[in-house]
Amino acid sequence: MGSNDVLQSMALNALENVKGASIIGLGSGSTATVFVRALAKHIQENKLDVKVIPTSLQIKFEAEALGFKIADDTLVPLTDVVFDGADQIDAKFNMIKGGGGALLREKVIIHAAKRTVILADESKYVNVLNRAVPVEVHPYARTYVFERLRKWGAKPKVRSLDKGYPFVTENGNIILDTDFGEISDVISMEREVKNIAGVMEVGLFTKHAAKYYKAKKNGSVEVLTP
């Protein structure tokens, strides 16, 4: 079974969490895109009255093209369930997110929603988080935050586009992809990085989801609950 087929299977399995929801939050990235397409078909076939709140223009464009009703962001506190992917998930269900740059909005809607559902292939599941963490920083504070992180022994790097221009988030900020090595105390790391003046958000997510779907290479889908 191809990787896309496995993601499709996972998305179809996750649709069981749509029941009873009227406002659905949509995360960003390639896995979220697969889910959004499955969700559109599910809503049409079952004639559901559902509105969605996207976390990025990427997903908003996708949702508009599929005919979704887009809810205003003032309804974020009323979100019933949010579906999102992850860049890495540790044994305690902490996550690194923000590979696509939408970490701030994703964290807001995950904290606001009544339930969160995470979809990721098995390669994203690890014992300890160890990949670079996106840190969203106000441009005015970029050199200060860079030096603060470096003095901690971390290795920050300004995220750039293919031609060398700095990546700018939809909130007008830059991202420092920061290598902290293995992160054993994720809760403390999240708090300490976010406390640096000028840091708008950090891609460490410690609020647990209700369910985690793991797509395996053999085509099966495992459902994990904290």
**Catalytic annotation, residues:** 106
- Rounded to whole angstroms, the Cα distance separating 208 from 210 reads 7
- Rounded to whole angstroms, the Cα distance separating 208 from 37 reads 25
With both helix axes pointing from N to C terminus, report the angle between 30-46 and 3-14 in degrees, rounded to the nearest 10.
50
Nearest to 88 by CA among 125, 45, 43: 125
Q: Are 183 and 154 a contacting pair, CB within 8 Å? A: no
Q: Are 207 and 190 a contacting pair, CB within 8 Å? A: no
